[in-house]
A and B are shown apart, each in its own frame.
Chain A
């Protein structure tokens, strides 16, 4: 099936504009716009060249290698893959319930990842747009502009990210490609020295995270006309929710709501996710389009990530973030907030919750315990799901009698948001691009909408010369009218 502006009724005679790839989004992404001679938008598509071949990359390997190997799928959120794969392999080794130390060390690693990822996104990827405006001069929109105008913000952003990465290093064993999480548990707990180091700084981290929530809230409330409408659309939402209804990034059951907040399903054991979710393939995209099976592809697509999570849970189990969540919910006036730019506000509430959770875990004696691994009766199938920074992440494996992976299915966060991102840029195209001359500032509006979801199109080779930034204008006869290329080198 096709959505409005997904496929032009009469593509002949239209001009095609490609933003290739999206400049501040990881990996290979391309947006194509088809305009008629008057500049009216007829077709808008986000293409993401990714992920095919991942499953093959994993198949044929012994299961114990998987939690480490999957980190090579993504340079942006390797910890998310590390933990989702570990949870799936836990099922295969019969580790139905981890030891308290193992679960808390994994949680600490994961919340460190959430903290550093959200900090990078807000302080370095998005704040240039949010602080300077979408039409501002390109040089002012980058981090240099932020640093010049708000030096403390840029420094705090770097320090927040550094702190999160230190949490990862101390729990995973290495700054990148850690090995801390293993089938059935972890191979280390937090040393007394590392714990003291992290404890010394965590109160400052909580304070800065709270400042960040207040900053984005102030920006949102200062310009509600823009923030509430930009790229906005109504949709279902889905996320993991803790067993008590709490916001939980590490474990829980699946919950989905419709655009009015009414439950579609709840308390779903993610081992059975295939009974509830399906994936549609479209001929123009490499990336699948997941949807809630009972609603079908037209009505069953959903959004995931911070905006979904903060509104899908019943409460946040840390006091400062819970106070911010209540204010956010009040802002919605009794309904779900669907504003695309509210992703930023929700993301900062999550960063604050991550900081508070890290603080609590550092005060928990289990974090330095010695009972690290458990195991039970082995099974041939396992599904692991976590809430990664960008949304719900599924890892699904089957192994044979030789412990070799024979099947792998991944639904990554960005795939879960595929239709939502397409919908958002179509709204932006209709509102800001239709019938107008294309400018860099206007094209940046498209990127602003995509960036709000913080997609990880990762897994792309970053090598020098491999990621040119390209804008192509192709005439109605198919000829190249104009082209601009921006390489990493300048």
Chain B
């Protein structure tokens, strides 16, 4: 991070990232809030069977924050995966656009807010981003993933491999 290097260059990754990013987030010890990390764990295990041009990278975190905007740099597609108390079962899949919503400047950003940070701090067009919102029911500390949530997770994984990667994972 030399002083004479432009800040914009410092924001960029030091080596080319995988073309596709899957970012699952949530607390693994809060019941169905574990859906995001559980999705990543299972999708990563199956990744050897997936043919994704440019490669695929998996990340997990407790919640989204400003630094995740940097994780989007150089991607072709980013898929955010989260538990949702509002989504219809088993899941919903939607496009994510940059937006100044009310999660800005909070400890937990929405995917739209992360894209807004990307637009304002990184600049330029972001990758295509999709949100896979998997229906969850119970979010108690110490609880395991529920039966219904597990079934929803299965359906979301199948959709991810069949639809998202097939439609959007290619060049």
Give the B-binding residues of A (Cβ under 8 A): 23-27, 53-54, 56-57, 69, 72-73, 75-76, 78, 120, 124-125, 128, 139, 141-144, 147-148, 151-152, 154-159, 161-163, 165, 175-177, 200-201, 203-205, 207, 456, 458-459, 461-467, 469, 486-490
Contact B26 A462 (CB under 8 A): yes
Contact A72 B28 (CB under 8 A): yes
Contact A144 B116 (CB under 8 A): yes
Chain A residues near B26 (CB-CB < 8 A): 461-463
Binds A, one of B49-57, B60-68, B150-158, B160-168: B60-68
Select which of A147, A158, A461 is within 8 A of B139 by beta carbon: A461
Asked if B44 lies at the interface with its beta carbon under 8 angstroms from chain A, I say no
Contact A143 B104 (CB under 8 A): yes
Chain A residues near B136 (CB-CB < 8 A): 463
Select which of B7, B33, B102 is within 8 A of A23 by beta carbon: B102
Give the A-binding residues of B (Cβ under 8 A): 1-3, 7-8, 10-11, 25-30, 32-33, 59-63, 65-67, 69-70, 82-87, 99-108, 110, 112, 116-117, 120-121, 133, 136, 139-142
Chain A residues near B103 (CB-CB < 8 A): 488
Contact B27 A461 (CB under 8 A): yes
Chain A residues near B105 (CB-CB < 8 A): 24, 124-125, 128, 141-143
User: How far does the Cβ of B126 sit from chain A's closest Cβ, in whole Å?
Assistant: 14
Contact B84 A54 (CB under 8 A): no
Select which of B65, B87, B102, B108 is within 8 A of A486 by beta carbon: B102
Contact A204 B3 (CB under 8 A): yes
Main secondary structure of the interface of A (DSSP, over half): helix
Contact A124 B120 (CB under 8 A): no
Contact B83 A464 (CB under 8 A): yes
A-B contact count (CB 8 A): 162
Chain A residues near B84 (CB-CB < 8 A): 463-465
Select which of A120, A201, A488 is within 8 A of B66 by beta carbon: A120
Contact A155 B121 (CB under 8 A): yes
User: How far does the Cβ of A320 sit from chain B's closest Cβ, in whole Å?
Assistant: 16
Chain B residues near A27 (CB-CB < 8 A): 107
Given contacts A69-B29, A204-B2, contact A24 B106 (CB under 8 A): yes
In the bound complex, CA of A177 to CA of B121 (Å):
27
User: How far does the Cβ of B85 sit from chain A's closest Cβ, in whole Å?
Assistant: 4
Contact A159 B142 (CB under 8 A): no
Select which of B2, B99, B120, B140 is within 8 A of A147 by beta carbon: B120
Q: Which residue of A lies closest to B7 (CB)?
A: A155
Given contacts A120-B65, A200-B1, contact A75 B121 (CB under 8 A): no
Could you list 6 further interchain pairs (A-B, Cβ under 8 angstroms) beyond the known A151-B121, A176-B60? A155-B7, A158-B67, A204-B2, A461-B83, A463-B136, A463-B139
